Amino acid sequence: MKWKKLGRVLDAEHGIAGIPWMQSHAMIPTADHLEGDVYRIYFAPRDQKNRSNIAHVDIDLSKPTEVRNLSTEPIMACGPLGGFDDSGVLASWIVAHGTEKFLYYIGYNVGVTVTFRNFIGLAVSKDGGRTYKRVSRAPVVGCTDVDPFLAVTPCVLLENGIFRMWYTTATRWEPVEPKPKHYYHIKYAESRDGIHWETNGVVCIDYKSDAEYAIARPTVIRDGDLYRMWFCCRGEKYRMGYAESSDGITWQRKDEEAGITVSDSGWDSEMTAYPFVFKHQGKLHMLYNGNGYGRTGFGLAVLDRAA
C-alpha cells in the first residue's frame, strides 16, 4: 500500500494570488464533492496579522494541479473579539445532513500563559455550500473536565443516524522554554444531532513513546468492515501515521503502513501533515500539507493498492 504523489495543488509560500488576507499558509485542506470529478477544497490562509480565515479553491481530479474559482472573500472569518475563534478559523470536516451541509471548524484565540486555545465550532449551509452560518458563538466541543485544554481537527462520519467524531485533544501543557509545550492525542465522541456531543474521554490513538507529543488531524474511512485512519504525529517533525479498527473505537496503530512520507526535496521534504482522505470512483485520495504546517501549501496523492 503506497500513496502516489500527484503534486502540489496550491503554492502558498509567497502569498496566494496577491490577496491581502491570504498572505501565507494554506492549512488543513478539506474536500467537498461538487459534481463529476470536481471538488471544492477548503483551506485556511493567514492574513497580515497572522489570523486564519477559511477560503476555497475548486479542482478537477483529472488535472488536480490546475486550480480554479479561488475565493476572493473569506467563506468564514474570525469571530468577535473575546470569542473562542477571535484569532482564527480553520475548516476541518464537512458532513451532508439532509439538505444542509455541516462545516466543523477549528476556532482559536491567542493565549497568555500558553500559546493558544483551540476548540471546535460548527457552521451550517442551507444553500449547497455557497454560504455558512455559525450555529452558535460558542464551540460545540469546548472546554470540559474531559477536554480542559483544547479540542481540534474533528473528523465526523454520519452512520445509522449517529454522528461519530474523532478529534485531537490535549492531555497537558509543560512549562518549557522558549514557550510551553503541548501534548495531544486523538479521542472519540458521539452525537444524535451533530450539535450536542457526548465526550466521555475515550482515547483512540495514544502516544507510542516518550518522544511523541503531538498526534493530530485524524481522517477516517470506512472500508467494508474495516475502519482506516490516517493522521499526523511527531516528535521532531510531523510524519503520517496509520491505524485500523473493526468498530471505530479500539484502534491498532500500524504507522509503518501509512504509505506516504516526505520527499527528497521540495515543498514537502521536511514534513507531511494534516491529511484529509476521501474516496472518488473507488480510489482513495489524500490532501495534505507539507513544510511549515501549511506554509508551502497543500498537495494531493492517490492510493496505489497494488504497490
Question: From the first residue on, what is the mean pLDDT of each consecutive set of 10 residues in the chain (307 residues)?
Answer: 94 93 97 97 96 97 92 96 97 96 97 94 96 97 97 97 98 94 97 97 96 97 96 95 98 97 97 97 96 97 75
Q: Which three cell numbers stand for residue 140?
A: 460545540
Rounded Cα distance between 90 and 135, Å, is: 16
Q: For residue 307, what pLDDT is reported?
A: 40
Partnered with residue 202 across adjacent β-strands are 188
Q: For residue 304, what pLDDT is reported?
A: 81
Work out the number of other CB atoms within 10 angstroms of the CB of residue 221.
16
Tally of CA atoms within 13 A in the half-sphere of 304 that contains its CB: 10
The contacts of residue 1 (CB under 8 Å, 6+ apart) are: 257, 259, 303, 304, 305, 307
Q: Which residue range(s) make up the domain with 121?
A: 2-304
Of 305, 287, 307, 283, which Cα lies nearest the Cα of 297?
Answer: 287
Count of domains observed in the chain: 1
CATH number of the domain that residue 256 is part of: 2.115.10.20
Angstrom CA distances, 299 to 86, 225, 287, stand at: 28, 29, 6
